[in-house]
């Protein structure tokens, strides 16, 4: 077993599952979306993005692109939430809906990354 591929796959799938956990729930209910879960999704996604920099294949480039898109959207979600918290309206429905919508875009990018990982695994010859 290749431990590098194991670690790589682990962080990609963990990134997807953390993002899904944050996204799940009523879109405008702040009780369903915890800020630390968003923070964990950002950190794990950052680790997964860093791990993708070593791959020089075409699928690797696509996986890096999906990871960068997810990072951009998760960072934007955190920035929207932080600015709303600074202004004192972090728990308003419109703010939470915006944050969750941005996290939903990142969720889609992470899903595409996992699909590409599965495709790459299937195409590998022993």
Q: Give residue-wise pLDDT tens across range 20-61.
A: 999 998 998 888 999 999 999 999 999 999 988 877 888 889
Q: Do the Cβ atoms of 39 and 79 come closer than 8 Å? A: no
Distance between CA atoms of 40 and 107, rounded to whole angstroms? 14
Residue 36 structural domain:
3-123
Q: What is the pLDDT of residues 52-62, one digit of tens each?
A: 887 788 888 99
Q: What is the mean pLDDT of residues 2-26?
A: 91
Provide the CB-side half-sphere exposure for 25 (13 A, CA).
Answer: 19
pTM of the entire predicted model: 0.90
Higher pLDDT pick, 121 / 74: 74
The continuous run of DSSP H or E covering 96 comes out as helix 93-123
pLDDT (0 to 100) of residue 112: 95
Q: CA-CA distance, 24 to 70, in Å (whole number)?
A: 17
Strand, helix or coil at 3? helix
Domains in the chain, number: 1
For 121, other C-beta atoms within 10 Å of its C-beta total 10
Q: How far apart are CA 25 and CA 19, in angstroms?
A: 12
Q: Assess contact for 110 and 19: CB atoms under 8 A.
A: yes
């Amino acid at each position: 077993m290749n431990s590098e591929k194991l670690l790589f796959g682990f962080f990609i799938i963990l990134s997807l599952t953390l993002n899904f956990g944050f996204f799940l729930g009523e879109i405008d209910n702040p009780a369903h979306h915890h800020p630390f879960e968003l923070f964990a999704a950002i950190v794990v996604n950052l680790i997964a993005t860093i791990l993708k920099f070593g791959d020089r294949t075409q699928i690797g480039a696509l996986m890096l692109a999906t990871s960068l898109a997810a990072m951009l959207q998760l960072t934007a979600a955190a920035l929207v939430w932080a600015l709303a918290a600074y202004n004192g309206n972090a728990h308003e429905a419109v703010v939470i809906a915006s944050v969750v919508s941005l996290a939903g875009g990142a969720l889609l990018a992470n899903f595409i990354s996992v699909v590409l990982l599965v495709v790459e695994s299937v195409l590998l010859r022993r």
